[in-house]
Each structure stands twice: as C-alpha cells, then as structure tokens.
Amino acid sequence: MKKILVTGAAGYIGSILCNRLLDKRYEVIGVDNLSFGGEALLSLINNNNFKFIKADIREKNLVNNLVKGVDSIIHLAAIVGDPACAKEPDKAKEINWDASVNLFNCALNNSETKRFIFASTCSNYGKMKDETFVNENSTLNPVSLYARLKVDFENYILNSNTREDFSPVSLRFATVYGLSPRMRFDLTVNEFMRDAFFNGELVIYGEQFWRPYCHVEDIARAIILSLESDQKLIDHNVFNVGDTSENYQKKMLAEEILKLLPETKIKFVHKEEDPRDYKVDFSKINSILGYKITKNVRDGLREILEALRNNVITEPYSKKYQNI
Ligand SMILES: NC(=O)c1ccc[n+]([C@@H]2O[C@H](COP(=O)([O-])OP(=O)(O)OC[C@H]3O[C@@H](n4cnc5c(N)ncnc54)[C@H](O)[C@@H]3O)[C@@H](O)[C@H]2O)c1
C-alpha cells in the first residue's frame, strides 16, 4: 500500500483530498498545525489507513522524520491567499518558502520518496495584457506576496536537479469553490452564494474582471491524477488545473446566482483596475493527463445553497471560515 504524506491535511482542499486518497486505498499521513481547528478530520480519525500528526512544518527535525517511508508528498500547507500573506508577511515567508524548501530537500534526500506535488495557483499570472488566454508558457506576473512566494517555490522545484526516480510537479489551481469539511467562505463563489442567500443582496467590485474557477472535488481528482500518471508525463512539469469553459467575469457569477435566487439585488461598484484579471487555458492537463472536470460553477452554487437552506452550516459568517 502506497504511503502518501499530505501537508495541510485539515484544510479546505486537504480534508477532501485525504478522504479521496483513503477511498482509493492509500495509506495517508496527514500533517497540519490546525490553524482553523481540526473538525474537518473527524470522519478520518478512525480510519486505520489514516494517521494524523499535529505539527508545524517549520519544525525542521520533525519534517526530516515525517518523510521517512513516504512514497509521495502532496504539499498544501501554506498561508493561503493575498490578504493573509499581506497581514503576516514574515510568517508567510517562513511557511510558503523556508519550510517548503526544507520539506522538498528532505524529500529529495529520502530515497523512498518518488513524487512531490505542489499546490500552486493561477494567481501567478496576475493581470493579463489583453483578452487572450494565458497558459503554462505565458509570462508570470505575480502581483502579491502570496503569488510571488508560489512562483519562487515553483521555480525552485521545477529547476531542481533531482534523482532520476524523483519527480516534482506543480499544479496551478483555479480559484476553488464547493463544500468541504473545512469550509471557506472567503472564496468568491462560496462567498457570493452565502451573501445572496442571507442578505438578498450582492455588492460586487470590479464586475468585469476574469478569473477561472474549479470545484474542490475536481481539484482533489487532479492531484490524485498527477500522483498516478506516468512519471515521464508529470516530471518537472507544470499544469493549470481547471477547465477553459470555467472562466467567469464576476458579473457572470451574479447572473448564475440570479437563476437560483431571482430576488437578489445586485450592486456593481465599478473599479477600473484590479491587479488580478486573467482568463486561463486548461488544455494542457486535458491533453497530457486526460483530465476533465465533473462539476461546474452552477453545480457548486446549487450545493452551497442547499447546505445553507438546510442549516447544515449554522454560522457561515464565523471567522473560522475565513483565512484572514
Ligand atoms: N482554495 C483555493 O482557491 C486555492 C487556489 C489555488 C491554490 N491553493 C493552494 O492550495 C493549498 C490549500 O489551500 P486551502 O484552500 O485548502 O487552504 P486552507 O487554509 O484551508 O488549508 C491550508 C492548511 O494548511 C495548514 N497550515 C498552514 N500553515 C501550516 C504550518 N506551518 N504547518 C502545518 N500546517 C499548516 C492550515 O492549518 C490549513 O489547514 C494552499 O497551498 C493554497 O495556496 C488554493
């Protein structure tokens, strides 16, 4: 049975991913410092193939021991998002750069570890020059500390000289949405649905700016696909994760919400400049790894609305659902 180390296991993506890895009969070691609590792990704790270690990946000795006996590492732990990194820049550098470099080097020096999968972001593209789609060959233009640290670490692992049997791969996720055991309501689709449902009103800044979106279950599927694909297809490679048909302007998200909640009042607050504005081409992951999404934004909005209508999430405005 293959042993997979997942950092950030208790997070929005990590908690879904650990579930799916266990469904596929992997042995999973989850590590997380539980910055947002550990409830997301409750359904996993009794699983014999799951081991949880509450730890901070900045602890160097611990990390060196963690990688022993591990076949692959999926590195999700980070200070996530532009506002969170801007608020605590030193901590962001320590985790998203220093601790990540150390984790990668420990993996590289451990002959049992064969794959290192890094959670990068489409935020690396920053602002597109014109209306054309950006792809993996486009110039990166990170406009925040969060994105700069992602770009730096991505360059570090993709330019590394490694053992022949060790492959780093970077996955640039679209902005994620959908239900997860560790819910986040600071992500645009989730946040818009919550606000429309509870306030009957949406205030949208910069309605004309483009961004791609991807369901959290499809993100987990893409990670597992890169774990299971032929080594030569993913080795020192980078893939955008999402689907080209899932690029939206914010006003298009509002139109989707109006189909579900027609009474919602939409207020547009026009903004000429936004540092992030990009339409992303996702054909590479489709043509090389055969990846296809299974859900779209409309599905995500529906499932969040369903959860809110049924009071499944009782305090959606709680701080624990925000990364800042
Ligand atoms: N959610 C998105 O839209 C999105 C988009 C692109 C990329 N990503 C990337 O995916 C990854 C996961 O994001 P998420 O949305 O699940 O965020 P999240 O904040 O829900 O999960 C991150 C997890 O990492 C843990 N963590 C943070 N610092 C740690 C440390 N020093 N030691 C141990 N654990 C630590 C946190 O406790 C948290 O559980 C991140 O690397 C993020 O940059 C997310």
182 lines ligand 1 (CB under 6 A): yes
List Cβ neighbours of 261 (8 Å cut-off, separation of 6 or more): 196, 197, 200, 305
- 217 and 87 share a domain? yes
Question: What gap in Å lies between CA 185 and CA 192, rounded to an integer?
Answer: 9
| Position with higher pLDDT, 278 vs 95 | 95
pLDDT value, residue 274: 65
- CA 134, distance to chain mean position in Å, is 19
pLDDT (tens digit, 9 = 90+) per residue, 184-216?
Answer: 999 999 999 999 999 999 999 989 999 999 999
57 lines ligand 1 (CB under 6 A): yes
Are residues 167 and 182 both part of a single domain? Answer: no
Tell me: do 140 and 196 sit in the same domain. no
In 18-165, which ranges are E strands? 27-32, 50-54, 72-75, 115-121
Q: What is the pLDDT of residue 228?
A: 98
Enclosing H/E stretch for 23? helix 12-23
C-alpha 27 to ligand 1 mean position (Å):
21
287 domain-assigned: no
Structural domain including 187 reads 178-212+244-280+295-321
Instruction: From the CA of 122, give the closest atom in ligand 1.
Output: 6
Ligand 1 pocket test, candidate residues 17, 35, 96, most atoms within 8 A of CB: 35
Q: Judge if 226 and 274 occupy the same domain.
A: no
Confidence of residue 242 (pLDDT cuts 50, 70, 90): very high
Q: Read off the pTM.
A: 0.98
Residues 155, 139: Cα–Cα separation, whole Å:
13
CB burial of 139-162 (b: ≥16 within 10 Å; e: otherwise) equals ebbbbbbbbbbbbebbebbbeeee
175 lines ligand 1 (CB under 6 A): yes
- Between the CA of 152 and the centroid of ligand 1 the distance, in Å, is 17
In whole angstroms, what is the distance from residue 38 CA to residue 134 CA?
37
9 CB near ligand 1 (under 6 Å): no
Q: Indicate which atom in ligand 1 lies nearest the CA of residue 81.
A: 43
Q: Is the pLDDT of residue 27 over 70?
A: yes
Amino acid type, 205 = Y
Give how many domains the chain has, as a whole number: 2
| CATH code (residue 252) | 3.90.25.10
